[in-house]
Amino acid sequence: MNTNKNKRTILDVMDNMELELITKNVKYAEQYLEDEGFDVVEEKKFASQFIRKLQFKLEAEHKKKKYSVLLEKALDKVKKSMKGNTTFRTEDLKSLILSKAPSVQYRKLENWTDDEIRDVLKDVDLLKFIEEADEK
């Protein structure tokens, strides 16, 4: 009987099977780790902590990105209104902004920079603002 088509010895076959078993099956994997002197409970704890930390980070980044998209959308609505490109009149916009952010000093919106508008919008419920802007 020949060795298998890859011309490996039986020892190699055993090793390949071991590798396949520990890779595909968690029981074999944990057994192997234990045989090698690892504390499986400790390793699982480390893994869970790492995964949890990364999950928080990824979720926070996702929220930040989503918020950033909304902010730019709201800014776009404000700028379009200032140019008179929508039916959303500047006066309505001013009173909307003032109602959402009453601490803001009233002055000509047209003179505001993008960053100043963004700054005001940060105090605003963006989703609601965009919805209301769309309604008007």
Residue ranges that bind another protein, judged by CB under 8 A:
1-4, 6-33, 35-38, 40, 43-44, 46-48, 50-51, 54-55, 57-58, 62
Q: Residue 103 Cβ, how far from another protein at the closest point, in Å?
A: 37
Report the C-alpha gap between 24 and 110 in whole angstroms.
63
How big is the chain, counted in residues? 136
**Least Cβ distance, residue 63 to another protein (angstroms):** 12
Single-letter amino acid code for the residue at 93? L
SS (H, E, C) 46-83: HHHHHHHHHHHHHHHHHHHHHHHHHHHHHHHHHHHHHH
25 or 68: CB nearest another protein: 25
Q: How far is the CB of 48 from another protein (least distance, A)?
A: 5
Complex with another protein: residue 34 or 91, whichever CB lies closer: 34
